[in-house]
Amino acid sequence: MSRVSFFTVSLLYLIVTLYVAMTTPISPHEAYTLYYKDNIDHFLMQQFMPYIEGFFAFRVPFYFLGGVNILIYYALSKFYFKEQSDRYLSTVIFMLLPGIITSMILVNISVLVITLVLIFLLGYKHNWWWLQVISLIVLLFVHDSAIIFFISLAFYAYLSKEHRLFYFSLLLMFMSLFIGTLEIGGRPRGHFIEIFGLYVALFSPLVFVYFCYTLYRIHHEKKHDIIWYISTIGLLFSLFLSIRQRVAITEFAPYILIGTVFILRAYNESLKVRLKIYQKKYKRIFFMVMVTLVLGSITILFHKVLFSLFEDKSRHFAYTVYKPYWLAKKLKLQKSECYDTKFVKMRAQLRYYSIKECQSVQK
């Protein structure tokens, strides 16, 4: 990928994601966080609301962090690719992941966790111990499931004989047992397919399959890297837990998504060891993988247009986001200021649009 192409794609990406962040109504998770939560997401959401109007007001910090993640990922890609064109292409692949796009345009703790993980990795690659310490300590207090990350680091540090990182990771791991709220338990209920489907949505179908293949290939070739340990242990741990309990995707996705740096590297290595006559097959496979990635990105960025394809709007994946918005507009046209619903998150969404509960109004 050329420099001009990269900056053109990046500019269009920032414009489109900014538009989506500004025009997408408040989601159930965002509304619930805004009115019923007292966490870091809630704190960040409120920082710009007194100064900016509209949906983008509570998304500003998250959009900014999403942009920072792209910059840090590009800086990190220099340690994995010699060619500048490969760094550009790898960064574009990272940008287009549905999970990265979603974390950038909607309020989600994942975007902050990704920032901290990338900062740690950048500090690790540059051997800046102070930056590693700061990012890990902040992550300890920001993410309830940071213990997964610390376990991954402890495994890597022990096997690579990095004693300082190993002991510090162990310390943070034990601290997170008291601070974090990751629950492990339950009975086998078959949530494995559910979590697998969520990962497919976060990566897009063929990208996730190729991603799993690259992790296996790295293990088979024994080219283990710190990012490989973080992504692989996070993925396996989440799949293992899903056998017995429902797993929140935000608990693991930030640690897994960063492993996409291996996708392009594995593809390049496959081409280098084969003659040109045998490279066509791999180029076609990679092209198909990229097509599904682009289609997944387009589906999210232009999701509003897709409503016209559904007679039954409730079948659209973003229906729960738009239903309260449309309902609030309808109620206001009818000059009605209240509406009762048993769903707490929908109640919070309507509250954002100044629609109260009828029971509270009567009181």
Give the whole-angstrom CA distance, residue 353 versus residue 351: 5
CB 261 within 8 A of CB 267: no
What's the pLDDT at 357? 82
Residue 356, beta-bridge partner list: 338
What was the pLDDT predicted at 135? 94
Residue given tokens 């990272």 in the structure block: 94
Confidence at residue 144, expressed as pLDDT on a 0 to 100 scale: 79
**Residue extents of the structural domains in the chain:** 3-302, 314-362
Q: Which residues of the chain have pLDDT under 50?
A: none
207: tokens are 């990208």
pTM of the full predicted structure? 0.89
Rounded to the nearest angstrom, the gap between the alpha carbon of residue 192 and the centroid of all alpha carbons in its chain is 19
From 75, 89, 120, 63, select the one nearest 255 (Cα to Cα). Answer: 120
pLDDT in the model for residue 191: 63
Q: What angle do CA 127, 101, 52 make, to 5 degrees?
A: 100
Q: Measure CA of the first residue to CA of the last residue in the chain; give whole Å.
A: 63
